[in-house]
Amino acid sequence: MSNQKVAIVSGGATLIGQKVAQALHRDGCKVVVCDINAKDGQAFINELGEDGLFVKTDITNDADIDNCIEQAISAFGGVDYLINVAATYLDNGLDSSRDDWMNALNTNVVGAGIFTKKVAPHIQKRGGGAVVFFGSIGGKIAQPGRMLYSVSKAALIGMTRNMALHLAPMKIRANSVSPGWVWSNPIRDFSGNDRGKADQVGGPLHMLDRIVDAEEVANTVAFLCSEKASGITGTDVAVDCGYMAMGPEQTTDKVSRLAE
């Protein structure tokens, strides 16, 4: 990648978001991390070093999105890539209230859609670029205890195809990644920050007998943004250690066992 490329990573204060930002930075990108978590976001940018910027951003707020884009352009001259990592894991399954539904969809689906809409003209001005959405294995199959997260991720996979079509005339490619169980904020919290336990519980559901490393997801995102992926758009890429190829979960208590 050229040193002049600029990427915005929403949800960049999370474990996955940080790995995505690091992968893009290693490839020569200037990186704008936006998140509602200002403490962790700013600390991460301080560690990242040069060519990094943190902007506190609530992706359910249009003014916040506008401010993030404006600050990115002011600091680095433009935007080439948008990676929509930000998400909420709010999910009470079938018992979810209307407010729960609206909050989850507003964050996971609408936030990503509006951010993409707003940044697309700026990416076009740079001659085109790429947008990456975050799907999930949860967007492809039913999972015990989940409803809102699964529905929103399925919607994002569908959004990817439609965005690819609408953004193509602007020379912007749109793809999504769908991780399996990945070492991320929720898995870390469920397992008590015990990676070995997470692999022990989740490993049998994945062909490689372990959960996914966040770096593996991040490297795939960096590839999809690069010229090496110039012919790829409208596609969902599974980064799931073979989870989907092997088949669905066969029990209903795997997630609860992480907290035992």
pLDDT digits (tens, 9 = 90+) for 195-234: 878 888 887 888 888 888 899 999 999 999 999 999 999 9
**pLDDT at position 108 over 70:** yes
Mean pLDDT over 240-247 rounds to 84
H or E element at residue 17: helix 15-26
- Which residue has better confidence, 250 or 20? 20
What is the CATH T-level fold of the domain 6-180+212-245, as seen in this structure? Rossmann fold (3.40.50)
81 is a catalytic site residue: no
Instruction: Give the separation between CA 59 and CA 10, rounded to whole angstroms.
Output: 8
Residue 41 token pair: 């976001």
pLDDT band at residue 257 under the 50/70/90 scheme: low
pTM tops 0.85, yes or no: yes
pLDDT of 19: 96
> Pick the catalytic residue: 81, 89, 149, 243?
149
Percent of the chain exceeding pLDDT 70 equals 93
pLDDT of 1: 44
pLDDT band at residue 188 under the 50/70/90 scheme: confident
Domain ranges of the chain: 6-180+212-245
Mean pLDDT over 168-174 rounds to 98
Nearest to 16 by CA among 236, 198, 217, 196: 217
Q: Is 216 helix (H, G, I), strand (E, B) or coil?
A: helix
Tokens 């680095």 map to which residue?
76
Q: Which residues, at least 6 apart from 130, have a Cβ–Cβ distance to it below 8 Å?
A: 80, 81, 82, 172, 173, 174, 175, 224, 225, 229
H or E element at residue 178: strand 172-179
Q: Exposure pattern of 72-101 as b/e (b: 16+ CB <10 Å)?
A: bbeebebbbbbbbbbbbebbeeeebeeebb
Q: Worst-scoring range by mean pLDDT, 57-66, 74-83, 149-158, 184-193?
A: 184-193
Average pLDDT of every residue of the chain: 91
pLDDT of 198: 81
Q: Exposure pattern of 7-32 as b/e (b: 16+ CB <10 Å)?
A: bbbbbbbbbbbbbbbbbbbebebbbb
**pLDDT at position 17 over 80:** yes
